[in-house]
Amino acid sequence: MSHDTPVLETPLSAAHAALGARMVPFAGYLMPVQYPTGILAEHQWVRDHAGLFDVSHMGQGALVGPDHATTAKALERLVPADALGLEPGRQRYTQLLNDEGGILDDLMYSREAGADGRILLVVNAACKADDWAHIAANLPAEVRLETFEDRALLALQGPEAEAVLEALGAEVGSMRFMDVAAHTIAGVPMLVSRSGYTGEDGFEISVAACDVVRLWDLLLQDERVKPIGLGARDSLRLEGGLCLYGHDIDTTTSPIEAGLSWSIQKRRRKEGGFPGAERIQRELAEGPSRMRVGLLVAGRQPAREGAEIATKDGTIVGRVTSGGFGPSVEGPVAMGYVPLIHAQPGTDLDLLVRGKALPARIVALPFVPARFRR
């Protein structure tokens, strides 16, 4: 981001400052990286209790058409997932692809019950202007894109998240992972999805920007809830083996290389009809040339993004895309891409950090098992 670009703020910026957050520029916004207790304590709090994240920098919008089939088909021209078969009250994860099958962004799409013809979208903050322009330019005349600049987004993550929301009168206990439903807390209407980016059970809550401070304060009144910054959000998602756009996935990676083939449903794999389908169908049939892998690093020194991955004889075979200390793993962890021949769990490699070779072993992702409510 250039010095001339103004840094935006979420509606909760003053609330973060009041809580003593250390604020940093992130994806064009001033965001809390940590609160006074620090990243390790915040990370563990989410694992044990309920952490509250401000993710209002994300882009929220909707495709709107005359009926679900028309809107879904418009989305399917842009992504490899099945939108047509999405049931009311359900959400899915997918990727916007370019013509080469590279990933322009990853996103969530959902179908709110009782809103036929509308598919809600949540895209990444850093990409949202480009995403909206790309989507709008590729829609048929009968489908339009609406963007919601007046919406905020919270994430309540951790094993006590459900109990916290239930105590406030939101009946979320019957929701399964990736369910979406409208709820009201203290007269504030909101759309709640049972999803998140931590590997823990939890919820994402879309609410009017004018109501978000009230909801934030209300949630923090519960002693089971503490505010959590971007630092712990990153360590949690890394332990969960979850991709960060612009790092683990980008226009040079396909969903198959990234280990995201589970997000492409059977009908779409067979029929194609989305950008880059030829490449993706080939990689599904024959295997990609490289794969995203998990790396458990020996010792205590983390390997950060950009560190080279080498075989034991010193041949460079890849690069770390995300890396850091895993508090729950109690050691350094990393993800990166290596050729298929080196991608098997149990393979021993080296990560080159400041001229030093750190021994690492490929392990199956995630590093910490997900605790989603299936």
pLDDT tens-digit map of 58-82: 999 999 999 999 999 999 999 999 9
Number of domains in the chain: 2
Looking at the domain assignment, is residue 254 inside a domain?
Answer: no
Domain match, 217 and 337 both: no
Q: Token digits for 46?
A: 């989410």
- CA geometry: angle 124, 261, 271, nearest 5 deg: 105
Mean pLDDT, range 267-288, rounded to an integer: 98
The model's pLDDT over 74-107, given as tens digits with 9 standing for 90+, comes to: 999 999 999 999 999 999 999 999 999 999 999 9
pLDDT at 268: 98
DSSP character at residue 175: P
pLDDT at 1: 44
Domain match, 330 and 204 both: no
Which residues span the domain enclosing 50? 8-56+150-239
Domain match, 296 and 234 both: no
The model's pLDDT over 184-211, given as tens digits with 9 standing for 90+, comes to: 999 999 999 999 999 999 999 999 999 9
Looking at the domain assignment, is residue 127 inside a domain?
Answer: no
Phi, psi of 210 (to 5 degrees): -70, -15
Distance between CA atoms of residues 204 and 177, nearest Å: 11
Domain match, 315 and 171 both: no
Looking at the domain assignment, is residue 124 inside a domain?
Answer: no
- Determine how many CB atoms are found less than 10 A away from the CB of residue 124: 18
Looking at the domain assignment, is residue 143 inside a domain?
Answer: no
Mean pLDDT, range 35-51, rounded to an integer: 98
Looking from the CA of 288 toward its CB, the CA atoms found within 13 Å total 23
pLDDT at 114: 87
Looking at the domain assignment, is residue 122 inside a domain?
Answer: no
Q: Of residues 113 and 52, which shows the higher confidence score?
A: 52
Domain match, 302 and 373 both: yes
Domain match, 49 and 169 both: yes
Looking at the domain assignment, is residue 189 inside a domain?
Answer: yes
Query: Among 206, 239, 272, which residue terminates a domain?
Result: 239
Looking at the domain assignment, is residue 258 inside a domain?
Answer: no
Strand order in the sheet with 29-34: 8-9, 29-34, 22-26
Q: In this structure, what CATH number is given to the domain that contains residue 200?
A: 3.30.1360.120
Q: Token digits for 180?
A: 């979406």
Looking at the domain assignment, is residue 134 inside a domain?
Answer: no
Tell whether omega for the bond before 66 is within 30 degrees of 0, i.e. cis.
Answer: no
Mean pLDDT, range 169-190, rounded to an integer: 97
Which SS3 state, helix, strand or coil, does residue 39 take?
helix
Domain match, 298 and 359 both: yes
- Percent of the chain exceeding pLDDT 70 equals 99
Query: Among 178, 210, 239, which residue terminates a domain?
Result: 239
Domain match, 180 and 324 both: no
The model's pLDDT over 317-373, given as tens digits with 9 standing for 90+, comes to: 999 999 999 999 999 999 999 999 999 999 999 999 998 999 999 999 999 999 998
- Percent of the chain exceeding pLDDT 90 equals 96
DSSP character at residue 194: S
Domain match, 230 and 305 both: no
Distance between CA atoms of residues 337 and 247, nearest Å: 11
pLDDT at 2: 45
pLDDT at 149: 96
Q: Is the pLDDT of residue 5 over 80?
A: no
- Residue 57, CA distances (Å) to 53, 123, 313 in order: 11, 10, 45
Distance between CA atoms of residues 51 and 200, nearest Å: 10
Question: From its phi and psi, is residue 89 left (phi > 0), alpha (psi between -120 and 50) or beta?
Answer: left
Mean pLDDT, range 248-263, rounded to an integer: 98
Q: In this structure, what CATH number is given to the domain that contains residue 327?
A: 2.40.30.110
Domain match, 234 and 312 both: no
pLDDT at 4: 58
pTM tops 0.75, yes or no? yes
pLDDT at 6: 81
- Tell me the DSSP string of 196-237: -SSSSSEEEEEEEGGGHHHHHHHHHTSTTEEE--HHHHHHHH
Domain match, 235 and 293 both: no
Domain match, 293 and 234 both: no
Query: Among 239, 263, 280, which residue terminates a domain?
Result: 239
Mean pLDDT of the chain: 97
